[in-house]
Chains A and B, each alone.
Chain A
Amino acid sequence: MTDAVIESKKNPDKGALSRVHFDQTAPLLEVEDLKVEFHTRYGIAEAVNGVSFTLQEGETLGILGESGCGKSVTAQAIMGILDTPPAQVAGGSIRFRGVDLLTMDERTRRHVRQNKIAIIFQDALSSLNPVFTVGWQLGEIYRKHTGATRAQAKAKAIELLELVGIPSAKQRVNSFPHQFSGGQRQRVMIAMALALEPDVIIADEPTTALDVTVQAQVMRLLGDLQKSMQMGLILITHDMGVMADVADHLCVMYAGHAVEQASVYQLYERPAHPYTKGLLESIPRVDLKGQELVAIKGLPPVLTNPPPGCAFHPRCRFARDRCKEEHPPLYDVPGGRRSACYYWEEVLES
């Protein structure tokens, strides 16, 4: 038997990826018109309703939004880990280097899932298996995908722990998840995501459960790793401070729609959508005193029964009759931006 056959016998998955033709000139990730539905007992909720964005190598794309806006569902759809039922991808495409992930068979998809695109979740404690050591968990991923020996896997695990800044990695590789602090566990999760040197990392609220000093450390680590490994990073969060520090481009989501897309500088300086504007005016800043917080009135919509027309219009101070009729499309705004608001020009001016 040739080496290749032995390899593929040990690792039937490994062969799968080699058969797919990735276009190295295409963007890392290109999501187009993605639609995801949830079938609940109250009706169908359009959790993701026609979202499109692009991620290039070395770039950080921020998906900003609050709970229920569909950002996590988008991430899960990209990874292919949606709970189907009740969730269902209802349309659109997700292209990784030109190849549509949604049309792939599950085996190939699974292989892409770890090797090419990896995800970090918010709650590291429940994402790590408590009964296995950290070293074992890291090593297993590596072993399963590359056919390495146990010893090689352990060495790789130590290497990964050092990479993410866990002190005394040689000893800590034998520790269990609960023996690490919250920040360290998050680093371990990052190490797991990096194990197979993916091209894209999706970080879904990676710092929400962390203290602010730990948050800063973890974000710095992610940034450094991204640069050194030339990865694409999709950062999903509701924290506008973290976003401002890290993102290159932003996609703001509301009720399943992408309502604004812009570079981070454009968005924070002059938002082009009332929701973004409302958010910026309502968050307190540690470097300003005596602000007035202008709250966005009302509540986020019920996705099984959204308001007619623009999902944001009941809470919007720019709303007019037209907004109740039909949900606005994404208009092109000068500067390479987009905004899903009929009156984006007004919003820019104000």
Chain B
Amino acid sequence: MSASDTQSGGDGVRADFTGDNVVEVRDLRKLFPLTRGIVFKKTVAHVKAVDGVSFDLKRGETLGIVGESGCGKSTLGRLLMGLERATSGSIKLLGEEITTLSPGGLRRARRNIQMVLQDPYSSLDPRMTVGDIVGEPFDIHSDVVPKKGRRKAVQDLLDVVGLNPDHINRYPHQFSGGQRQRIGIARALALKPEVIVCDEPVSALDVSVQAQVVNLFERLQNEFALSYVFIAHDLSVVRHIADRVGVMYLGKVAELGNEDEIYEHPTHPYTQALLSAVPVPDPLLRGHRDQIVLEGDVPSPANPPSGCRFRTRCWKAEEICAHEEPLLIDRPGSTHPSACHFAAERDVIHAID
């Protein structure tokens, strides 16, 4: 084991790493084979869940990944966590390539990237106490905190996320959904990771509790210098918490920019359609917003359209869209990359009169 392994937390690798980008993803692909046959399986097609995604996550920032169901954002999250093996492409965590790591190396790398899952009711083992759950990272990575100090470390974590440390011996079913989510967050913080991947962390919570948890995420980010990959379908929440946003459609990134660029100056038709569909809690905007109605259904990720994947539902589609896939590059008249041959700004969230 190298010297960096014996230091506490991810501090070993973290201390070595001086770059700006804590995560660098290049051309990431994950294809799921569709098979036929019972005993001898034959691959007949592939679900292109993630099909060529590239982005960077800067230290201390929150990158929001938005998209609708089937766009691949959850698969992307799991690839970052190493829960799925990439079919091709590269993921660099703190400068280290993790797609080719051995299981042992992956375990070590996990000290730097942790995950918070969506469902507070199934993400905690119902037969373990809260203390065991939050302390499990210390059991797995036994050199992070010595045995004697573990109970205190767990109690500190519970306190940090706003739970009563005395409840360390309680079981998950004794807590509400919002509290369980906090337990999950405490577990993710235990190893002091650099990056936390949040997969729809507030979608399953009541509205009045969502704000509590979102605020908690922000507070923790400031306190512990965390970087977030925040995956969600709720564009309103993402706007609030994210610094930069990537919009995904059918396994590819359609548009990538900072929060202002994406929300105030969206250039990709899909982003515009998506934003126009997000309801705003203000009845005065009724009938005054630009309503883009998409026709047709989302194509199957096993058989995406040629060229631009969005062309079958896009009102701007032309010949070129079927032949040439638009790359995620800077487009004329815009400061951020967009994967559309005809990228042009359009305001869809404010009233237009």
Contacts and interface: CB of A to CB of B under 8 A. Distances in A.
A and B touch in the complex (CB under 8 A): yes
Interface in A219-277: 220, 238-245, 247, 264-265, 268-269
B279 A245 contact: yes
Interface string B219-241: 00000000000000101110110
Given A216-B291, A279-B207, A300-B206, A284 B239 contact: yes
Nearest to A216: B277
Contacts of B211: 282-284, 293-296
Contact of B294 (A213, A245, A280, A299): A213
B280 A239 contact: no
Contacts of A215: 277, 279
B144 interface: no
Interface string B295-332: 00110000000000000000000000000000000000
B208 A295 contact: yes
B35 interface: no
Interface in B37-70: 68-69
B36 interface: no
B283 A213 contact: no
B25 interface: no
Contacts of A211: 68-69, 233
B214 A284 contact: yes
A245 B68 contact: no
B209 A243 contact: no
B353 interface: no
Interface in B260-295: 260, 263-264, 273-286, 291, 293-294
Contacts of B235: 212, 286
Contacts of A240: 207, 281
A284 B286 contact: no
A213 B208 contact: no
Most B CB within 10 A of own CB, among A67, A264, A284: A284
Nearest to B176: A299
B349 interface: yes
B350 interface: yes
Most B CB within 10 A of own CB, among A213, A238, A286: A286
A284 B233 contact: no
A288 to B, nearest CB: 8
B259 interface: yes
B293 A295 contact: no
Contact of B236 (A279, A280, A285, A300): A285
B87 interface: no
A315 B349 CA distance: 32
B6 interface: no
A20 B233 CA distance: 48
A280 B298 contact: no
A268 B69 contact: no
A284 B240 contact: yes
B208 A286 contact: no
Contacts of B69: 182, 211
A241 B236 contact: yes
Nearest to B235: A286
B278 A212 contact: yes
B304 to A, nearest CB: 16
Contact of A268 (B214, B240, B283): B283
B263 A296 contact: no
Contact of B280 (A214, A244, A289): A244
Contacts of B298: 181
A66 interface: yes
Interface in A66-109: 66-67
A286 B236 contact: yes
Contacts of B233: 211-212
15 contacts: A238-B207, A243-B281, A244-B285, A269-B284, A282-B211, A283-B210, A284-B211, A285-B236, A287-B285, A288-B239, A289-B259, A289-B260, A289-B263, A293-B215, A299-B209
Interface of A: 66-67, 181-184, 211-217, 220, 238-245, 247, 264-265, 268-269, 278-280, 282-289, 291, 293-297, 299-300
